[in-house]
Amino acid sequence: MTADRWTDPNCPVARTVDLVGDRWSLLIIRDAMDGASAFTDFHQRLGIARNILTDRLRRLTEHGILTRDTAPSGKRQTYALTEAGRDLFTVVLALRQWGERNAFAAGEEHSVLLDRRGEAVPELRALDATGAPVSSSTTRVRKV
């Protein structure tokens, strides 16, 4: 995406949403984090139209979130998260945890993210430099 196409060129949130903010891109990133790597993996897991999947994989690759390689068989392309793509883990985790709190009725079943020990991943907390909790009411944006 070129500078003249950013929604808000000076806002990190707007730029991030421009890059990965649509539904399909985030779900592709989620599935890549969960082991999907081939076009057919993403297609089967998401039920997304092939042309939309092709477009999103291309865009995520162009923007350095995924890499594309030829599979050892030489017959298909595989996709893997780049460092920038892996760096979205905290974003996906925050969305997951928000969804657990706000997108399900009380007692409604949903998937759970587990750590290596098999324990549920603790809730993320935004903290300041001293370790104190921060929120939208205790922070401000400085425009540059």
Assign residue 73 the CATH number of its domain: 1.10.10.10
* Total of domains in the chain: 1
110 in any annotated domain: no
- The rounded percent of the chain whose pLDDT value lies above 90 is 87
22 in any annotated domain: yes
118 in any annotated domain: no
Burial of 101-140, coded b for 16+ CB within 10 Å and e otherwise, reads eeeeeeeeeeeeeeeeeeeeeeeeeeeeeeeeeeeeeeee
Supply the Cα-derived Rg of the chain in whole angstroms. Answer: 18
pLDDT tens profile 2-25: 556 888 888 999 999 999 999 999
54 in any annotated domain: yes
Q: Taking the model in full, what pTM does it have?
A: 0.89
pLDDT tens profile 64-84: 999 999 988 888 999 999 999
Tell me phi and psi for residue 132, to 5 degrees: -80, 145
- Which residues form the domain of 25? 3-86
135 in any annotated domain: no
49 in any annotated domain: yes
CA distance 41 to 10: 36
